[in-house]
Amino acid sequence: MRRFTLTDLTIVLAVLLLFLALVFGVIGKLRGRGMRTACQNELRRMGFAASLYIAGNDDFLPPISTGQFPHVQLYTDLIGEYVDAKTAWLCPKGDMTPDRIGSANGKLLHYGMNDFGYGVVDDALRNYYPSLGEARVTVLREPAAVILAADSAPQNSPEDIGTEERCSNDWPLSSLATRRHDKGYNALYLGGAVRWRANRPNHWDWTCRKRLDAIPQ
């Protein structure tokens, strides 16, 4: 009867380790996809809350933040009143214990509102909205194509995505969590759709806020 040699045991161990690595890799990917889906569901809930706010406020979106510290209300606080005042708006894959919380009212937050304006978006003719805060949805030419909110990092003004890059082509946008899900991020559109987006410069997608009453060029 042939005995196992040290070489045989080494081969068996190597195969076993490879198998375990593959299994844990698959489990990790499935877990990541599950958190990505849970995040998208949270953004859909945010979109529903925003639609209720818009309907109750003459078609206007909420301001990104309002009031003075410590009595600051973020846009998430304002729309949260329409679904659940205690909602936290947290992503399951977001950092739950960051080294600092940079929101205007000190609340942990994982989603920011689109505040990026690039070049022509801030033109003197006012053909474009420079920001979504307090914009009127019914005046937008293609609201379904406009990014309303997305994954954001909690350390640096998470409620306010892109304001530091205004009129520039720098990437990534400030506060945007560009690699939270599968090296990309989830984004909520004004039409209610939620999509995963790859981490690559896409400034026009963040600034397509042309008005219906724009002056023809």
Domain ranges of the chain: 6-207
Per-residue pLDDT, 217: 61
**Residue 124: pLDDT over 80:** no
Q: Are 208 and 145 in contact (CB under 8 A)?
A: yes
Residue 151's CB is within 10 A of a number of other CB atoms, namely: 29
Residue 93 makes CB contacts below 8 A (sequence gap 6+) with: 32, 35, 36, 39, 180, 181
In angstroms, rounded to a whole number, what is the distance separating the alpha carbons of residues 59 and 64?
16
The model's confidence at residue 216, banded by pLDDT at 50, 70 and 90, is confident
Q: What is the pLDDT of residue 28?
A: 65
Cis peptide before 70 (omega within 30 of 0): yes
Instruction: For residues 76-80, give the mean pLDDT.
Output: 94
pLDDT tier for residue 56 given thresholds of 50, 70 and 90? very high
State the average pLDDT over residues 99-110.
95
3-class SS of residue 108: coil
- pLDDT range class, residue 34, cuts 50, 70, 90: confident
Mean pLDDT for 179-201 is: 96
The candidate with the shortest Cα–Cα distance to 47, out of 128, 162, 137, is 137
pLDDT the model gives residue 77:
93
Helix (H, G, I), strand (E, B), or coil: what is residue 100? coil
104 compared with 85, residue with greater pLDDT? 104
pLDDT classification of 179: cutoffs 50, 70, 90: very high
Q: Give the mean pLDDT of the chain.
A: 87
pLDDT reading at 145 higher than 60 = yes
192: left (phi over 0), alpha (psi -120 to 50) or beta: left
**Per-residue pLDDT band at 5 (split at 50, 70, 90):** confident
- Check: pTM over 0.75? Answer yes or no: yes
CB-based contacts of 49, cutoff 8 Å, min separation 6: 79, 80, 82, 83
pLDDT band at 201 (very low <50, low <70, confident <90, very high): very high
